[in-house]
Amino acid sequence: MAGTYPVFIREVKRETSEAVTLVLEIPIHLNQEFDYEPGQYLTLELQIEGKKHRRPYSLSSSPLTDAYPAVTIKKVPGGLISTHILDQLKQGDFVHLLPPDGKFIPELNENNFKQYVLIGAGSGITPLMSIAKSVLKIEPFSQVFIWYGNRKEENIIFYTALESMISQYGGRLKVTHTLTQPTPEWKGETGRIAAYKCEQMFAEQMGAEWKNADYFLCGPGDMIRDIETWLTEKGVDKGKIKKEFFTLPTTDGQDHSAVVGSGEIKEGAKKVKIIFENQEYDLVIDDNTTLLDACIDADIDAPYACKMAACSTCRAKLLSGEVKMDDREILTDEEIRRGYILTCQSHPLNDVVVSYDAG
């Protein structure tokens, strides 16, 4: 199975009734392939009813504090993959994985004297947990504030682990939980994480310097867009805001497509050259087919995961020609300027050459 690796499940930890952590044992000969940074994700590949499925799941472990890498997965109602994982996978099984990927990464330095604000909802806590453990371990002068939203108290993933970390690191870690469906006994915050709550929350938890913090936002797209918009309007540098979408935002009336490259528009079928793992593949595709789907149809095992512009697993570089991306959400303006595209969103407008090997 080119591109993926079989990895042993060392342990399955039940976090809540609807979330588990898979602790993975990487073979020694793959240690370099699976070196990871806090905040990255692994893509799991599963065969279900004879069909191959891939999904990205964030690493909740830290390479600085945990002996084994681990991903934490929350069951999505009606979700084929998450349901299979929670109901079927067990200790001793093997899963096929793509190596770690993702740019949701803090710039760690033991001399940093910084504030980190980690905001997540539901399973959005998973990469934030990795980041928090890593910052607290390596940066003794930095502080971390986690604002974490769930429906009910029993849905809070890592509740006990977070309480233990608060005790371990004292005032360097603060955690605020908020629930949308609290019981009468709940004494904490209530309601969704929302922009109108930010200023008071940040001032109370971090003081007057909250605008200088590094922000990591993870979870539902609408929450991320709401908080990101508010932060930028308040003057927080965009470079200090990182985001990881677990679902894309609902439509906001804006056009999130992008055209990359140049050349005259060509009607009808397009010639496409795909460069992957030092091999070249010549394809002919129509206007309705994405570059990634063309690769899959041609049995080219090109990397992909979410297929909805929320991760960057399928990122490749356009070497010539022109494509239109239906959505460019996770790509930065600089990446697009340099010719990078999401192949799961890209339709060629003329004959193109695309490389997965170009960085």
The structure tokens 């593949």 sit at 281
* 3 state SS for 89-145: CCCCCEEEEEEEECCCCCCCCCCCCCEEEEEEEHHHHHHHHHHHHHHHHHCCCCEEE
The CATH topology of domain 5-101 is Elongation Factor Tu (Ef-tu); domain 3 (2.40.30)
Supply the pLDDT for residue 253: 57
> What are the residues whose beta carbons fall under 8 Å from the beta carbon of 285, sequence distance 6 or more?
269, 270, 272, 291, 294, 348
Q: Which pLDDT score is estimated for 1? A: 36
pLDDT at 305: 86
CATH number of 258-355: 3.10.20.30
Topology of the domain comprising 115-247:
Rossmann fold (3.40.50)
Cα separation, 86 vs 20, whole angstroms: 7
In degrees and rounded to multiples of 5, residue 240 shows phi and psi of -100, 10
Domain ranges of the chain: 5-101, 115-247, 258-355
Tell me the pTM: 0.87
- pLDDT at position 359, please? 65
Q: Residues in the chain with pLDDT < 70?
A: 1-2, 251-254, 359
